[in-house]
Amino acid sequence: MKYLVVGLGNIGEEYTGTRHNIGFSILNKLNQRHDSNFDLEKQAEVSSFGLKGKKINLIKPSNYVNNSGKAVNFWLQKKGIKKENMLVILDDLALPFGKIRIKKGGSHGGHNGLKSINEHLGDNNYPRLRFGIGDSFSQGRQSNYVLGKFNSEENKELDLHIDHSCDAIESFILQGLEKTMNTYN
């Protein structure tokens, strides 16, 4: 059984550690857990490892969040992975900081990464893990907030929340979507 785990984020040093790049941060931690390395390949940084007989492929698209659907579609096809065995990791303004929500399908909720994936796959019927970044920004400052770094209070708990997200990803792979939703939502 093969899986594709997609972390959404923007490439470039200036985006490292930003709220919008939480998908990259979570995949970096998961990759580290399994002693694997990312290599830059076509349209993404890619890593693979085994987990209890299952083949896990991680990708961090290299064509920015708002065009990440192109890389997702390419790697799904290249690896021959079904959409139900894909999990997309993204930031979510509608959830409190650190809270995660796992589900299959649903709207893009204004997230340009999901919009792009929906366009390239032709539907929105795939699992995703939304990581709450909160909404502590003034009117008109959403972009600055999303592209900003976590504050000192958030940083105190960030590693714990990232580990929790990695546990949820492993549960999705080993236990399936329903059990993972019941455990982590």
Residues serving a catalytic function are 20
pLDDT of residue 33: 97
Least confident of 50-64, 99-113, 114-128, 165-179: 99-113
Report the C-alpha gap between 185 and 182 in whole angstroms.
6
Residue 8 has pLDDT above 90, yes or no: yes
For residue 95, name the pLDDT band (cuts at 50, 70, 90). very high
pLDDT digits (tens, 9 = 90+) for 25-71: 999 999 999 999 999 999 999 999 999 999 999 999 998 888 999 99
Q: Rounded mean pLDDT of 102-116?
A: 88
For residue 154, what pLDDT band results from cuts at 50, 70 and 90? very high
Q: Is the pLDDT of residue 139 over 90?
A: no
Identify the pLDDT of residue 108.
Answer: 81
- The predicted pLDDT at position 80 comes to 96
Q: In this predicted model, which residue has the larger pLDDT, 160 or 109?
A: 160
Q: How many CB atoms lie within 10 A of CB 159?
A: 11
pLDDT at 115 over 90: yes
